[in-house]
């Protein structure tokens, strides 16, 4: 099947090629040329044959005429010889001529020279008179002397003593009475006498006419005006007029010969081929010239037509290829093509466009097949184009030219609501519209725009959109004399969840909280996520009364406070809100946001989970933070840090077994600054690394100093913050501090918070393992505030759990805290860990802890954090007491 269709296609291709003018015309021209030349050559051949035959006929005719003429002449000569012979026989040699003269029978001496010769060869009489010359040596004389034949003798053309002019001897023998030789009668004739019949008009310049003897020697031969003799006769043997080469001049002649009766002479007529065929040759040249010039003209015309046709074919092919390429490209294109011709009214105004060509994409876009579309009027198929400006745009392009581009959202049923892009270009008599579906791009742009202005996690407006909206709200409020409330919200306890349960839980919490806050607001209000656990609320179009926004803020606070179930764990967060009002707290977005931030910090300071309206003096705390940070940078260098040591006591024996190193900062202007204020700042700025190093080294040196002073050995506990713990060289730094101070590793304890470990459990456990391997003790600080699972806890290489002081402070009255403390104690013991309660301030707390088997305690009840000297005193006293007890 495939090969059959391929054959058909091949045949079609060849037929197509055959029909191409530049191929068929040369073929036709070649045939025509062959015909022309066959006819021409045939005609020439025919004409040649005719001319040839005519020449031969002419030659034959002329030989007839010449023969008759010569026969007459020879007859006349022979008659003269006979008369003369008779007269000699009658009157004797001397009287013969006068007797003939008297009778008027003597021929004129001008034509014939008549001579009588005796047996000795002497001329005895002649006319004109010649004297007694001897002709005995002449061939005719010898012929007659020896031959008795009574036939005339014809000599060759000759001259002799008696007659110096060239002549031919015609002679007859004279016999005596006894029949012996008695001499001869001779008639000498000018050879030209026999060629006078030469007709120039018929024989031309090179015709030949003459006589030759049986010896083959010419007696007379006239060619043109020249008469000659001697030389060999041609080989012609009949009177057929055959074409024979004349030996004397090498010309070919139509030659006829005829033997003459009674004489051993042959008449010859030759018509020169060159002359006889001249007319034919001229005609042949004419024919050939006509055929040649006709052929050349034909070839030229055909060549021209072929070149033109070839160029047209090439152009057509190019156009076809272009059309095919265009069609293929347009078919493969993602764009729809509509080729449209303008329809004009009587005045030339474009009233519509008729669709002339489309591609497959156009079918999909219009919901109509190509056949249905072709020939349709645009505004009939798409009536809405008249009203939505598209028709006007097409008309503009068709009239004014140029390229028009635009995007629009379709309402055509086949592609309803899809975004389209059109490019309209003018073409001869109409326009081409290239239409592309850009819905995906539009959606992507929308997504990108949304992503650029929205928080990826919660989908809420982001920082930049918040600022824009705030700007808008301010401008609107400025125009309408209204106010704008802005609340800066920071979640309380978020860090704990994020650190404890991991980032995924933190993300989930942010989403839930975001959704809850959004649920408390009206449509015109705006909630955005500013970053981390910070949110911003913009309440536009407010009266000049801050308290008007209080209900919605309270509603938000309560919604946020609701417990949240994360990964089967229930958590609870609060929110601290700083609220500002435009224009009273600032008249631009920056000022408003900064002041809201300050108010939020004040809310935090005042116990968190509340909202706080901005007051001018709040900005001081922000400034103070900056001042603190500046001071912190110099604090190490300026030796403004010191360490206090808070004793850790065995609950049962009351003995000090360790101390916790707690940093203090003596600020030159602000006095003693609590680590609760600057540790977070040091964390944020990265200064915690050098500060932490200093703490480690100082604490290790102090512990070693106490050892060296002979005091009872105590474990030195050092707090390590998250950033410190995550720093790559932590283990190396601790090893370095131990090595520098000479403190044994077992005398050092590192306190890490539960949240810190949970940030990256695997890495934390690995690092703790390394420290444990060095011999360093590890304890978990603030236990109970984080979210360690029991299985995770099991993998920690720790020795102590520290119950956070927030559970200890209300231990006496709060059953929940009691339950937590008891659970931690029980858990610790089950894991073979010691349990230390921190923040023990009252005897009641101590008693509860002791009664419930807690191992160790730390708190103001026993001692506040102390300078080294006071710890030393305590240790000495304890040693002394121990000694006294022992004694
Ligand atoms: N990374 C480091 N963190 C440090 C370092 N030094 C201190 N800190 C951390 O700063 C926070 C505040 O510390 P501080 O103001 O020193 O408070 C400690 C004690 O003074 C306080 N405490 C002790 N007993 C009581 C008490 O009975 N009642 C009460 N209200 N407070 C008490 O508790 C703080 C010790 O807590 P903890 O570390 O959890 O044991 C604090 O978080 C320090 O950890 C440092 O060098 N590096």
DSSP conformation letters of 104-165: T-SPPTTTEEEEEEETTSBEEEEES---S-B-TTSHHHHHHHH----S-EEEEEE--SS--S
pLDDT at 365: 86
Positive or negative, the Cα torsion across 871, 877, 880, 885?
negative
Cα–Cα dist 582/482, whole Å: 9
- Eight-class DSSP state of 742: T
- Atom 47, ligand 1: which residue's CA is nearest? 719
Q: Can you name the residues that pair with 431 across neighbouring β-strands?
A: 340, 426
- Neighbouring C-beta atoms of residue 728, cutoff 10 Å: 8
63 Cα to the center of ligand 1, angstroms: 163
Q: Are 747 and 661 in contact (CB under 8 A)?
A: no
| Closest ligand 1 atom to 688 CA | 1
Query: Residue 676 C-alpha to ligand 1 middle, in angstroms?
Result: 8
Q: Is the CB of 800 under 6 A from ligand 1?
A: no
Give CA–CA dist 74/76, Å, rounded. 5
Task: Give the orientation angle of helix 688-708 with respect to helix 675-685, to 10 degrees.
Answer: 130
Percent of residues in the chain assigned helix, strand, coil, to nearest 5: 50, 25, 25
Q: Alpha-carbon distance 263 to 152, whole Å?
A: 7
pLDDT value for 788: 54
**Beta pairing class for 856-858 and 834-838:** parallel
Please give the average pLDDT of every successive group of 10 residues along the chain, which has 887 residues.
56 64 83 92 91 91 91 90 90 87 82 88 86 84 90 90 86 90 92 88 90 90 90 76 88 91 90 91 91 90 86 81 75 86 93 92 89 92 90 94 92 86 92 92 86 90 92 94 95 83 90 96 92 94 90 94 88 92 92 90 80 79 75 90 97 96 91 85 86 97 96 95 89 96 96 76 87 95 63 82 86 80 89 94 94 96 96 93 72
- CB of 567 within 8 A of CB of 473? no
Half-sphere exposure of 606 (CA within 13 A, CB side): 17
For residue 583, cis peptide bond before it (omega within 30 degrees of 0): yes
- Per-position b or e across 440-451, b if 16+ CB within 10 A of its CB: eebeeeeeeeee
Nearest 10 degrees: CA dihedral of 696, 702, 704, 710? -160
Residue whose CA lies nearest to ligand 1 atom number 44: 719
Q: Which atom of ligand 1 is nearest to the CA of 660?
A: 40
Whether the CB of 675 sits within 6 Å of ligand 1: yes
Q: How far does Cα 452 stand from its chain's mean position? A: 34
Instruction: Select from 646, 686, 719, 780 the residue to mutate for testing ligand 1; criterion: most ligand atoms less than 8 Å from CB.
Output: 719
Query: Using an 8 Å Cβ cutoff, are 506 and 571 in contact?
Result: no
Residue in this structure with the two tokens 């020879």, named with its chain if needed = 74
pLDDT tens sequence across 740-776:
999 999 999 999 987 677 667 778 889 999 999 999 9
Q: What is the ipTM of this complex?
A: 0.95
- Ligand 1 proximity of 197 Cβ (cutoff 6 Å): no
Place of tokens 């933070």: 625
Centre of ligand 1 to C-alpha 661, Å, is: 9
Residue 489 and residue 553: Cα distance in Å, rounded?
10
Encoded tokens for 56: 């031969």
Supply the pLDDT for residue 785: 57
Rounded to the nearest whole angstrom, what is the distance from the C-alpha of residue 852 to the centroid of ligand 1?
A: 24
Residue 1: per-residue pLDDT: 46
* 658 CB within 6 A, ligand 1: no
Residue 706 Cα to ligand 1 midpoint, Å, equals 22
Q: Residue 589 and residue 471: Cα distance in Å, rounded?
A: 6
Tokens of 81: 């010889």
Confidence at residue 2, expressed as pLDDT on a 0 to 100 scale:
46
676: Cβ below 6 Å to ligand 1?
Answer: yes
- Number of the ligand 1 atom closest to the C-alpha atom of 646: 23
What is the predicted pLDDT for the residue at 858?
97
- Beta partners for 256? 269
Give the ligand 1 atom nearest the CA of 861.
27
* Minimum CA distance residue for ligand 1 atom 6: 662
Per-residue pLDDT, 466:
94
| pLDDT for residue 236 | 66
The span from the CA of 637 to the CA of 654, in Å, is 39
Pocket test for ligand 1, best of 675, 693, 804 (most atoms within 8 A of CB): 675
Q: Which domains does the chain have, with CATH numbers?
A: 19-300 (3.30.450.20), 335-442 (3.30.450.20), 454-617 (3.30.70.270), 632-886 (3.20.20.450)
Residue 327, both tokens: 């069609």
């Amino acid at each position: 099947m495939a090969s059959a269709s391929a054959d058909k296609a091949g045949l079609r291709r060849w037929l197509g090629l055959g029909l191409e003018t530049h191929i068929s015309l040369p073929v036709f021209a070649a045939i025509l040329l062959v015909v022309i030349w066959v006819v021409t050559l045939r005609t020439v051949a025919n004409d040649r044959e005719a001319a040839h035959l005519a020449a031969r006929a002419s030659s034959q005719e002329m030989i007839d005429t010449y023969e008759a003429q010569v026969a007459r002449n020879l007859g006349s000569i022979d008659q003269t010889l006979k008369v003369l012979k008779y007269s000699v026989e009658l009157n004797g040699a001397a009287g013969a001529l006068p007797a003939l003269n008297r009778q008027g029978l003597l021929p004129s001496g001008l034509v014939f020279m008549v001579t009588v010769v005796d047996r000795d060869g002497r001329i005895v009489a002649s006319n004109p008179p010649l004297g007694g010359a001897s002709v005995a040596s002449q061939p005719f004389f010898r012929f007659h002397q020896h031959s008795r034949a009574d036939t005339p003798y014809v000599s060759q053309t000759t001259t002799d003593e008696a007659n110096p002019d060239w002549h031919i001897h015609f002679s007859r023998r004279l016999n005596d009475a006894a029949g012996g030789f008695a001499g001869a009668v001779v008639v000498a004739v000018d050879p030209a006498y026999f060629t006078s019949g030469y007709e120039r008009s018929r024989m031309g310049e090179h015709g030949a006419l003459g006589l030759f003897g049986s010896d083959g020697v010419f007696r007379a031969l006239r060619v043109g005006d020249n008469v000659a003799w001697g030389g060999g006769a041609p080989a012609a043997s009949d009177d057929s007029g055959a074409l024979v080469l004349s030996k004397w001049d090498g010309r070919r002649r139509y030659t006829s010969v005829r033997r003459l009766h009674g004489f051993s002479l042959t008449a010859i007529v030759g018509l020169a081929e060159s002359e006889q065929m001249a007319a034919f040759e001229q005609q042949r040249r004419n024919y050939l010239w006509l055929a040649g010039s006709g052929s050349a003209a034909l070839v030229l015309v055909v060549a021209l037509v072929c070149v033109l046709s070839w160029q047209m074919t090439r152009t057509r092919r190019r156009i076809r290829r272009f059309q095919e390429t265009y069609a293929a490209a347009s078919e493969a294109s993602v764009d729809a093509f509509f080729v449209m011709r303008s329809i004009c009214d009587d005045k030339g105004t474009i009233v519509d466009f008729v669709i002339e060509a489309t591609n497959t994409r156009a079918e999909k876009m219009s919901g109509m097949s190509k056949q249905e579309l072709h020939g349709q009027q645009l505004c009939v198929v798409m009536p809405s184009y008249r009203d939505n400006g598209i028709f006007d745009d097409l008309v503009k392009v068709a009239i004014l030219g140029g390229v028009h581009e635009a995007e629009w959202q379709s309402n055509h049923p086949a592609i309803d609501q899809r975004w389209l892009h059109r490019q309209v270009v003018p073409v001869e008599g109409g326009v081409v519209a290239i239409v592309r579906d850009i819905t995906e791009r539009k959606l992507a742009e929308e997504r990108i725009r949304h992503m650029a202005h929205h928080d990826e996690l919660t989908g809420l407006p982001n920082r930049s959109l918040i600022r824009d909206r705030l700007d808008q709200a301010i401008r609107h409020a400025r125009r309408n004399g209204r106010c704008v409330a802005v609340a800066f919200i920071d979640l309380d306890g978020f860090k704990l969840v994020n650190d404890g349960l991991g980032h995924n839980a933190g993300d989930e919490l942010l989403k839930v909280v975001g959704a809850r806050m959004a649920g408390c607001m009206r449509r015109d209000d705006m909630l955005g996520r500013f970053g981390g656990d910070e949110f911003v609320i913009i309440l536009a179009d407010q009266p000049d009364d801050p308290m008007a926004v209080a209900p919605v803020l309270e509603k938000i606070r309560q919604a946020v406070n609701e417990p949240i179930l994360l990964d089967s764990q229930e958590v609870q967060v609060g929110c601290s809100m700083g609220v500002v009002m435009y224009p009273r707290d600032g008249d631009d977005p920056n000022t408003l946001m900064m002041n809201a931030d300050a108010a939020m910090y004040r809310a935090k300071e005042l116990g968190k989970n509340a909202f706080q309206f901005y007051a001018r003096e709040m900005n001081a705390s922000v400034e103070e933070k900056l001042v603190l940070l500046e001071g912190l940078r110099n604090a190490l260098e300026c030796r403004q840090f010191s360490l206090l040591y808070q004793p850790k006591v065995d609950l049962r024996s009351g003995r000090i077994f360790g101390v916790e190193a707690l940093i203090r900062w003596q600020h030159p202007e602000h006095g003693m600054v609590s680590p609760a204020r600057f540790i977070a700042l040091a964390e944020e700025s990265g200064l915690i690394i050098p500060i932490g190093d200093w703490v480690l080294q100082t604490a290790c040196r102090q512990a070693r100093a106490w050892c060296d002073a002979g005091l009872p050995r105590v474990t030195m506990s050092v707090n390590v913050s998250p950033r410190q713990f995550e720093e790559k060289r932590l283990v190396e730094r601790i090893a370095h501090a131990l090595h520098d101070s000479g403190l044994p590793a077992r005398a050092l304890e590192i306190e890490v918070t539960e949240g810190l470990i949970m940030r990256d459990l695997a890495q934390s456990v690995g690092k703790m393992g390394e420290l444990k391997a060095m011999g360093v003790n590890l304890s978990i600080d603030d236990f109970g505030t984080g979210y360690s699972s029991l299985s995770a806890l099991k993998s920690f290489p720790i020795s102590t759990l520290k119950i956070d002081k927030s559970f200890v402070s209300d231990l006496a009255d709060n059953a929940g805290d009691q339950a937590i403390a008891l659970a931690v104690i029980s858990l610790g013991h089950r894991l073979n860990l010691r349990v230390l309660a921190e923040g023990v301030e009252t005897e009641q707390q101590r008693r509860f802890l002791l009664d419930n088997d807690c191992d160790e305690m730390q708190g103001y009840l026993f001692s506040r954090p102390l300078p080294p000297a006071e710890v030393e005193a305590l240790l000495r006293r304890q040693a002394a007491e121990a000694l006294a007890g022992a004694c």
